[in-house]
Structure 1
Amino acid sequence: MEVKISYGRSLNLTGARLLTLLAVGLSLTAIVIDGAAGRLPLAANSITLPLWICALISAGLGYWAIPLLRKLKVGQFIREDGPQTHLRKAGTPTMGGVFFVPAAVLVALVWSGLFMRVQDFVPVLAVSAVTLAYAGIGWLDDWQIVRHRSNKGISARLKLAFQVGCAVLFCLWLAWSQPASITTISLPAGFLLPLGALFWPLAAFVLVAESNATNLTDGVDGLAAGTCAVALLGLGALIAPSYPGLMIFCGCMSGSCLGFVVHNRNPAAVFMGDTGSLSLGAALAAVGLLSQNLWCLFILSGIFFVESLSVIAQVGYYKATKDANGVGKRLFKMSPFHNHLELTGWSETQIVGAFYLINGILVLSCLALNTGI
């Protein structure tokens, strides 16, 4: 029997099947992680139970929130210069981040407050504040888009200023609350890189860059939510021995992303908007910084890095190849990279499936190298 992987036709990928594969993959990975640590999957200190609970809560909230968003006429505006197949998505409710992100944060705060020590709860409170702050920036951008009936929200300069401001506040809290050793980055093979004062501009950059990277990845049904769910689960597994509270936070965020994919899978009934995408990147970055896992965060964010790099390369190449008329050449058919793949013939479900698989491999490789799982 012939299987044509090139365009995913023989595999007959659908949004529902990708959701099933994602749910099974996340659940099995979480169970293995708990088993390797000697925890029962349904124990209060596991990563599996908060994953499942937040997935159910997020999926359930969607059935109430999506009709409400439609009633409020919070519809997505599609850029005319994007893939033409996306034009049919115009009017699909956006701002989905308003229900699945706060749900995960609330459960993580209550869970860690009830079952964790105070010293494990405080980091959860800090990363929750950062996550909600970036969700607020994204909501403001989404609201301006809906209000002005265009695909342009707040200005890029103002948006960046808000992001940098939140990053600086988080760094000030880190400097006040954490030991000086936080400015040392752990590298592969046990190497340590002491950065000293240079750590702080790097930390602010990581927060801003990660939030924008996940934002750029949010362009295909189920893509950003699914890849973030995988990355968050992997990061939670890595930090579990030292930061059990943050492990619960990552499990909750991962599960809530999974529940959102129930409604965001192809064909999407709702988009997360900047409200969701900016906050997911901020959550990953804040946990990575606080747990001193920047190198692992970079590996787990491989998909987001490539998406961002494709935009930078596209802009740089266009400017470098401008002719006398001011017109340059394009390195890709369109950036970010998932748009390039779509314009070369890949279906949305094929792109999502490939990115899920790649992100899963990155997470499993990182876990194998750092935990022996």
Structure 2
Amino acid sequence: MVDAKISSGRSFSLTGPRLLTLLTVGLSLGALILDWTAGRMLFLGSSITLPLLVCSLITAALGYWAVPLLQALKLGQIIREDGPQTHLQKAGTPTMGGVFFVPVAVAVALVWSGLFMRGQDFIPVLAVSVVTLAYAGIGWLDDWQIVRHRSNKGMSPRMKLALQVSVGSLFCLWLAWSQPVSITTINLPLNLVLPLGLLFWPLAVFVLVAESNATNLTDGVDGLAAGTCAIALLGLAALVAPTSAGLMVFCACLSGSCLGFVVHNRNPATVFMGDTGSLALGGALAAVGLLSQNLWGLFIVSVIFCFESVSVIAQVSYYKATKGPNGIGKRLFKMSPFHNHLELTGWSETRIVGAFYLTNAILALLCLTVH
């Protein structure tokens, strides 16, 4: 735990429950402020606040039934031996938590957009929901292989990548059919528009695959991926609100479900989201960014996820580049992804999560400011 001195001279311990409280207050206040400043009725269908709170409460409550069920089904996490040694004590903690918090967000978003939105707002929500569930399905297959074979290797990297590319390509084909002209541009700050033409399609598939893998890599510390994704999704909800109320509600619902999941995933975690959850979150973020033509905004709210991925690539590349005659190279970090490096330098899990939450909150504000 992290101790910080406060004015009374007593120490303040940054614990899992306190981080959950800070995240809950921050997201709730953020949603309220965003609705108020945009002139939206705070607790009506076309708001950010209400779907966020509804999904967070449903997911948190559902977790008290789903987590014991996952435990009873013996779906325990297999911890890799070459990871931080402190993680070995987490072996056996139920995984595949994405199977209950992702469907909640998708179901509520579809019902919400169908009841309260115009017809043209429902189709985008349906499209990103399909992508989200498809990536959740890929993650479930990977998680199932891990649990079934009692090995943390899961499905082969080639098969996983092929499935991710296939889903991304199908989504791009739908984009090409539904929005053949306008979708091949990217909105930039200062109302600038960047036309990409045919280059948009390989970029779009790359974004879907890279974002889903990046959120997957970030999921390595209790409450880290769920909380940072909740913040990123809230920022993205505000960003797409002026052009798509449906996508705004979808992001709000998934942000709320992430918050509800943190109730059970905060340190010490009683459940992990697994690839089922982490791949779905990345796929959802990317799909919303692509469909709303906000790749620049998506990049800003995803800087942490990108950095986690880059730290892995840099670690592997540096190790290979510095290999000596004995076949052993040097390491750029103590361990990658970067949150593992921080943990091995002495940072506690709660300190890492708190720092990442704060950084992502600043990035979300920056995204809204510069866009």
- The answer to whether the superposition gives a TM-score over 0.5 is yes
1:29 corresponding residue in structure 2: 30
Find the residue that maps to 1:345 and give its secondary structure: coil
Q: Counterpart in 2 of 1:82?
A: 83
TM-score with structure 1 length normalisation?
A: 0.97
1:11 offset after TM fit, Å? 3.5
Offset at residue 326 of structure 1 (A): 1.3
Distance 2:364 2:12 in 1: 24
SS in 2 for 1:11: strand
- Quick check: 2:168–2:209 contact (8 Å CA) kept in 1? yes
Please report how far the alpha carbon of residue 321 of structure 1 lies from its aligned counterpart in structure 2 after TM superposition: 0.3
- Superposed, 1:116-155 pairs within 5 Å as 116-155=117-156
8 Å contact from structure 2 (residues 4, 13) kept in 1: no
Alpha-carbon distance, 1:192 to partner: 2.0
Residue number in structure 1 paired with 2:322: 321
Percentage identity across aligned positions? 78
Give the Cα–Cα distance (whole angstroms) in 2 for the partners of residues 261 and 135 of structure 1.
18
* Structure-2 separation of matches of 1:11 and 1:170: 47
1:118 CA displacement: 1.2
Q: Partner of 1:193: helix, strand, or coil? A: strand
**How far 1:3 sits from its partner (Å)?**
4.0
- In structure 2, what is the Cα distance between the partners aligned to 1:279 and 1:232? 13
Matches of 1:3 and 1:149 in 2, distance apart? Answer: 41
**Residue of structure 2 in register with 1:312 after alignment:** 313
Corresponding residue of 1:207? 208
1:198 is matched with: 199
Q: Distance in 2 between matches of 1:265 and 1:293?
A: 30
2:112 corresponds to which residue?
111
Partners of 1:103 and 1:301 lie apart in 2 by 23
1:365 Cα offset (Å): 1.4
SS at match of 1:328: coil
Residue 169 of structure 1 aligns with which residue? 170
TM-score by length of 2: 0.97
Letter of the 2:125 partner, please give it.
Answer: V
Partner of 1:349: 350
Is residue 233–residue 255 contact of structure 2 (8 Å, CA) maintained in 1?
yes
Q: 1:174-221 CA distances to partner (integer Å, 9 max, x unpaired)?
A: 000014121111222332211100000000000000000000000000
Amino acid at match of 1:102: P
- Structure 2: 5+ residue stretches without partners: none
Q: Deviations over 1:258-315 (max 9, x none)?
A: 0000000000000000000000000000000000000010000011011001000000
Segments of structure 1 that go 5 or more residues without pairing to the other structure are: none
The CA distance in 2 between the partners of 1:328 and 1:161, in whole Å, is 30
Please give the alpha-carbon distance, in whole angstroms, between the structure 1 residues aligned to 2:62 and 2:194. 44
**1:4 Cα offset (Å):** 6.0
Partner of residue 183, structure 1:
184
Contact 2:300–2:363 at 8 Å: present in 1 too?
A: yes
Given that residues 57 and 260 in structure 2 are in contact (C-alpha distance below 8 angstroms), is that contact kept between their aligned partners in structure 1? Answer: yes
2:150 and 2:11 mapped to 1: Cα distance? 40
Shift in Å, 1:325: 1.5
- What stretches of structure 1 move > 3 A for 4+ residues in a row? 2-5
Task: Output one character per residue of 1:329-348: Cα deviation in whole Å (capped at 9) or x when no partner.
Answer: 00000000000000000000
Match of 2:223 in 1: 222
Partner Cα distance (2:256, 2:108) in 1: 11
Q: CA deviation at 1:10?
A: 4.1
